[in-house]
Amino acid sequence: MNAVEEGDLIVRREGAAGVIRLNRPKAINAMTLEMSIGIDAALDTFETDPDVAAIILEGAGERGLCAGGDIRGLWESSREGGDLGARFWRQEYVMNARIAKYPKPYVAFMDGLVMGGGVGLSGHASHRVVTDRTRLAMPEVGLGFFPDVGGTWLLSRSPGEIGTYFGLTGQTMNGPDAIHAKFADAVVPAAEWPELREALTKVRKGVTAADVSKLISGFETGETAGPVAAKEPAIDALFGFDRMDDIFAALKRDGSEFALATLKTLNEKSPRGMVVTLKLLRLARTASSLEECLVREYRAALEVFRSDDFREGVRAAVIDKDRNPSWSPPRIEDVTPQMLAPYLAEIGADELKFS
C-alpha cells in the first residue's frame, strides 16, 4: 500500500488498483475545488502507471461516498461576486467527461449518500456499484439550481419519465432504483464490499471492463428495480410534458395520494430552477454526447451563480437551515421565457472546452 497524498483526498496504489478516497467524512466527503484538482492529478498518474489495472473510487466514513460539492464555499463566493463557481464547475465538468472516457476500468463504490457532485464522480464510471445503504439523489432544484455534473445527460436516459421525476423532485433513489434509472450497474451488499474490494486489488494487468463486470457479478444481488420503478406508469403520465405548468396541472387533476405528495414536494422547489431543469432535460434527450450536455450545464450554472435564487436556496437549506426560502419569482407561472433565455445563451470565449 503506497500512499501518494493524504488530507481531504487519499490517493494510493493497493496492489493492481489505483485507489481514490474522498476523505472529509464529517462533511460526508463534500468535494472542494482542491479535491477535484487532486482527483484529476490521480487519474493522470494512474492512467500512465503500468502497474495500475483498475481504479477504485470510495468515500471515507460510514455516511456516504459524497454529499455533493462544497456548497457553502460556492455560496460565499456568489455573495461576494467571486469566481469560484466558474472555476469549480469548469474543473469538475471537464473531469466528469474524462471519467466517462477513462481508458481503465473505473469502479465507483456508491455506498450511503451519493448526491450532486458525488453523482458526477460515480455516475459516469465504467462500473457503478450501489449497496443496500445507497441513497442517491440530485436535489439541486431545492437550492435554486439544477441537476448538473452531467446529471441532465444521465436523467434524460432513464426510462420513461423517471429521470424527469427524480430531477424535478430531488427524491432519493435506493440501490435497485438507481439501477432502474440507469445511474448504476450492480447492487452489492455493503457487507460484501471488503471482499470485492480485495479482489479488485488483485486483478491482472490489462484487465478488461468485461472482466471487471464478471468479477462484480459474483457479489451482486441481481436487484434491478426499487419502489419508484413500480410507480413508473403514473410518473410517465404525470411528467410527460415539456412545460412545468402542464406537469402541475396533471398532478392537480390526478388527485391521487402520490400526485398530491409530489405536488407538495414541487411546491417547495425553486420555480425558476424547475423551469430551467425541465428545459435542460428535454434538450438533453436529443444530445449526442455527455460533453454536449456539460457545455449547456456550464452556461446555465454561471447564470445560476449570479442569481438570488441560488443564494436564497443555499441560505435556507445549508446556512440558516430554516427550510423556508423566498424564491424569485415565487410562482411557476411567473417564470417568463425572458428569464429562461440567459441560462441557455452561448457565452463565447468562456464556453466549456474539452482537451
For 166, 168, 211, 268, 321, the CA distances from 324, given in Å and listed in that order, are 21, 18, 49, 8, 8
Q: What are the residues facing 137 on neighbouring strands?
A: 115
Phi/psi for 147 (5° steps) reads -65, 110
pLDDT in tens, 280-306: 999 999 999 999 999 999 999 999 999
Please give the grid coordinates belonging to residue 176: 435497485
Cell numbers of 188, please? 452489492
What are the grid coordinates assigned to 264, written together?
A: 407538495
Instruction: Residue 329: count other Cβ atoms within 10 Å of its Cβ.
Output: 14
- State the CB neighbour count (10 A cutoff) for residue 330: 11
Question: Cα–Cα distance between 15 and 237 in angstroms, integer?
Answer: 50
Write out pLDDT tens, residues 219-239: 999 999 999 999 999 999 999
Q: Global pTM?
A: 0.96
Low-confidence ranges of the chain (pLDDT < 50): 1-4
Positions marked active-site: 69, 117, 140, 148
Contact between 250 and 256 (Cβ < 8 Å): no
Contact 65, 111 (CB under 8 A): yes
- Provide the grid cell at 26: 464529517
Summarised one tens digit per residue, pLDDT across range 66-120 is 999 989 999 999 999 999 999 999 999 999 999 999 999 999 999 999 999 999 9
143 to 46, 122, 140, 293, 337: CA distances (angstroms):
35, 22, 5, 20, 21
Asked whether the CA dihedral 274, 275, 281, 284 is positive or negative, the reply is negative
**Cell of residue 107, nine digits:** 469502479
